[in-house]
Structure 1
Amino acid sequence: MGLAKMVIQVEVGHGEKDVRFDDHSETNIEVKFNPKTLSVSRSVSWQSQKAAKRDAPELQYTSADPATLSVDLFFDTYDSDKPIDQKDSVFAETKKLLALAAVSGDKHRPPVCRLQWGTQAVFFQGVLIQIDQNYTMFTELGTPVRATLKCSFKQWRSNIDDRKKQNLMSADVAKVWTVRRGQTLASIAAQEYADANRWRDIAAANGIDDPLALAPGSTILLPPVRPSASRVIRAEDIL
């Protein structure tokens, strides 16, 4: 079994719902030397809620930042059988990575990338946000033959994939609803909450006086379902 090389797959197109990749695309980058380390970092924001007589204030989750992957990639064209004055420039390899930070064709933005390695398959998907080039060896003619590129990728996920991951179809999460022709607050409540009587909650959240007067194409806020208080069971209810 041969040595598995890490590959950076480069987006080949953007479909209606997600970006597209091709395992055999000529734009994919196979690293010549596998990295020694991979570093992944992520930060999450929690806001403290001030309260009297609390040594440790309650923390409320507010947001999360995309994960960042950092990796150092080594390139070398010196170790070849060519004479010293005919060594290939390492630019031929490093420029492929530089292209990941450039606006690409009709996408009007740099491409999305997937990093995959051996049995791990795709272990990170993101966009290149920083690249530091360090050229460390040159021939007598000034040709660069060794370089280390410090690359940072920020996690990227399509809106559809992110909604699936977060399970935003759950009724305990607030959502924005686009009204379709023929819909009423009751029909929306029945579809969203499985309870048509919750149309009052939607009306109250949006300041709607007439639940039947909904303009097609307008947007309304669907408030999250709040857990109701437990019902007290009386002795006479059991009999």
Structure 2
Amino acid sequence: MNRNQLKKATITVLDGGDKGKVITVLFNPTDYSFERSNSYKATPVPGLGAPLLQFVNGESDQLSMDLFLDDYTDPTGPTSALKPEQDPLANRLRDLTKLLEIDSKLHAPPPVRFSWGPMEFTAVIEKLGRKVTMFHPDGAPARATLTVSFKEYQTLRQQVEDPRRESADKTKRRVVVGKEGLWWIAAREYGDSNEWLRIAEANDLDDPREIAPGDWLELPPIEAPNGSTG
């Protein structure tokens, strides 16, 4: 095997009934693309030529690529010298498609890790398209191209323990999204869920459960003992 040959890409199931299962990609992708976006709220203001844009939240990273599967490739050829494939295409196609199904233990599709050389991407499979271009005599697929979109996956605990890196020394405003509570917002913004009282006082909230999706909250800065912010 050529020492410069890239290791095969793999997809590893991280949780659920098939936890630990590794699906090896017979051919490495020829390329892949990353995409990330942010959500903004447009607020129209009378007299202005354009609405005011206010940042709402960041979206998850998305990784997209095409995967090629082929039963007629010599399993001892140069592309398979590292780890020959024993499973026919139909089995690998079934395993990949199963990753879109709801797992009975998780009540959701399982998270996976896509690994290729130094790159590791923890995600769920958001979309999988397949185009079969060759068949065995019995009608089973023999050659297929898959278009796969992975969406970054993080648990709530991971997001709280690794909050956004903005400084908390300036007053900010942000919108409530989904079922967010004051404690969760405080943990994300200040790194301490106990700071929910600071947010409640700044917004005249007698009951922290009064907030609802779409509400705007003022997030005051944290004062240091010397009276400075930060």
Q: TM-score, length-normalised on structure 2?
A: 0.64
Say whether 1:131 aligns with 2:131: no
Corresponding residue of 2:219 = 224
Contact preservation (8 Å) 1:176, 1:220: no
Corresponding residue of 1:121 = 119
Secondary structure class of the residue paired with 2:163: helix
The CA distance in 2 between the partners of 1:192 and 1:72, in whole Å, is 46
Cα distance change on mapping 1:31 and 1:199 into 2, 3 Å: closer
Number of matched residues? 187
Q: C-alpha offsets along residues 15-65 of structure 1, whole Å, 9 cap, x if unaligned?
A: xxxxxx7xxx3x111111001121222332223343455445442112333
Which amino acid is the alignment partner of residue 97 of structure 1?
L
Secondary structure class of the residue paired with 2:159: helix
Corresponding residue of 1:176 = 182
Corresponding residue of 2:205 = 206
Corresponding residue of 2:10 = 7
Corresponding residue of 1:99 = 98
The CA distance in 1 between the partners of 2:148 and 2:42, in whole Å, is 34
The CA distance in 2 between the partners of 1:106 and 1:161, in whole Å, is 21
Corresponding residue of 2:68 = 74
Corresponding residue of 2:189 = none
Contact preservation (8 Å) 1:66, 1:154: yes
Corresponding residue of 1:166 = 164
Q: Which moved more, 1:42-51 or 1:165-174?
A: 165-174
Cα distance change on mapping 1:106 and 1:168 into 2, 3 Å: farther
Contact preservation (8 Å) 1:6, 1:116: yes
Unmatched runs of 5 consecutive residues or more in structure 2: 76-86, 175-180, 185-191, 212-216, 224-230
Secondary structure class of the residue paired with 2:39: strand
Corresponding residue of 2:80 = none
Which amino acid is the alignment partner of residue 101 of structure 2?
A
Q: Structure 2 residue aligned with 1:48, among 14, 39, 42?
A: 42
The CA distance in 2 between the partners of 1:41 and 1:200, in whole Å, is 33
The CA distance in 2 between the partners of 1:102 and 1:199, in whole Å, is 42
Deviation at 1:98, TM superposition (A): 0.8
Unmatched runs of 5 consecutive residues or more in structure 1: 15-20, 82-87, 179-187, 209-217, 229-239
Deviation at 1:74, TM superposition (A): 0.6
Which amino acid is the alignment partner of residue 146 of structure 1?
R
Corresponding residue of 1:214 = none
Deviation at 1:220, TM superposition (A): 8.2
The CA distance in 2 between the partners of 1:74 and 1:65, in whole Å, is 29
Q: Which moved more, 1:218-227 or 1:150-159?
A: 218-227
Secondary structure class of the residue paired with 2:105: helix
Say whether 1:59 aligns with 2:53: yes
The CA distance in 1 between the partners of 2:43 and 2:202, in whole Å, is 30
Q: TM-score, length-normalised on structure 1?
A: 0.62
